[in-house]
Amino acid sequence: MEGNVPESVSAPVPGRGEVSPVVIADPPEFLSILVWSPSPVVATARVLDGWRHIHQYLTSYKGLLFYTEAGDELPLGNHVDVVVARRIHVMSTFYPS
């Protein structure tokens, strides 16, 4: 372990390797994934991208992680539990600019 990062934070999840693949979805497809789940949880963040704000969204469904971003806030619905984050990091190798 390097630095002062706790081992529980820096260690990979057993059996999953060091990177969990993320499925990049367009906003309409992301919203349809939320309908499939009886009690979805979505992490959201509003970040500055250059001169504009973007809204980031991350959820999981059947073991897969789904990510999307939009210029305007998405209508998640009342059945969604929302976790507000400062930022959602998706590796650039998975999400080309």
The CATH number of whichever domain residue 74 belongs to comes to 3.30.720.90
Does any domain span residue 14? no
Q: What distance, in Å, lies between the first and last C-alpha atoms of the chain?
A: 32
Does any domain span residue 9? no
pLDDT bucket at 5, cuts 50 / 70 / 90: very low
Tell me, what's the pLDDT at 74? Answer: 97
Tokens of 65: 């992680």
Model confidence, pTM: 0.74
Does any domain span residue 41? yes
Share of the chain above pLDDT 90, in %: 61
| CA separation, residue 93 to residues 5, 9, 43, 85 (Å) | 24, 22, 21, 22
Q: Which residue's entry shows tokens 């499939």? A: 36
Q: With b meaning 16 or more CB within 10 Å and e meaning fewer, what string describes 87-97?
A: ebeeeeeeeee
Tell me, what's the pLDDT at 92? Answer: 54
Least confident piece of the model among 21-25, 52-56, 66-70, 90-94: 90-94
* 36-49 per-position pLDDT tens digit: 988 999 999 999 98
Domain that holds residue 79: 19-84
Does any domain span residue 69? yes
- Number of domains composing the chain: 1
Does any domain span residue 93? no
Tell me, what's the pLDDT at 34? Answer: 96
Tell me, what's the pLDDT at 49? Answer: 85
Per-residue pLDDT averaged across 47-58, rounded?
A: 93
Does any domain span residue 56? yes
Does any domain span residue 61? yes
Q: Who contacts 74 (Cβ-Cβ below 8 Å, separation ≥6)?
A: 27, 30, 31, 55, 57, 68
Helices and strands per DSSP (H, E), number in the chain = 2, 5
